[in-house]
Amino acid sequence: MIKRWMIISLTGLILLTLIAACAQSTTPEPATTDTRALIVDKCSDCHTADRVFNEDYTQEEWSEVFDDMIDKGADVSPEEKTIMIEWLVSQN
């Protein structure tokens, strides 16, 4: 009887561990949160950040948009531009 109980308990523990390991996190990844905040910081001086988040551009189109905004005075480094474009493209 004890042996049977141990096998059932062990099997349940293994299943519970597998389920917990496979569960997806509902909290955003830090990079996602940081990149979103970066976009809000860099893009919301002239227009709402929602305007950026609602667009569905390709990587090339985003690059052109960012180049235009930088030409108009947006303070965005080349590294920030790359990070923001990669994140925006991955969201669509």
Structure tokens at 64: 């052109």
What pLDDT shows up at residue 28? Answer: 55
- In this prediction the pTM is 0.66
- Give CA separation, 53 vs 6, 71, 84, 85, in Å: 53, 21, 11, 11
Q: pLDDT by residue (tens digit) across 28-59?
A: 566 678 999 999 999 999 999 999 999 999 99
CA dist., res. 89 & res. 26, Å (int)? 21
**Per-residue tokens: 34:** 């940081």
Residue of 26 and 86 predicted with greater confidence: 86
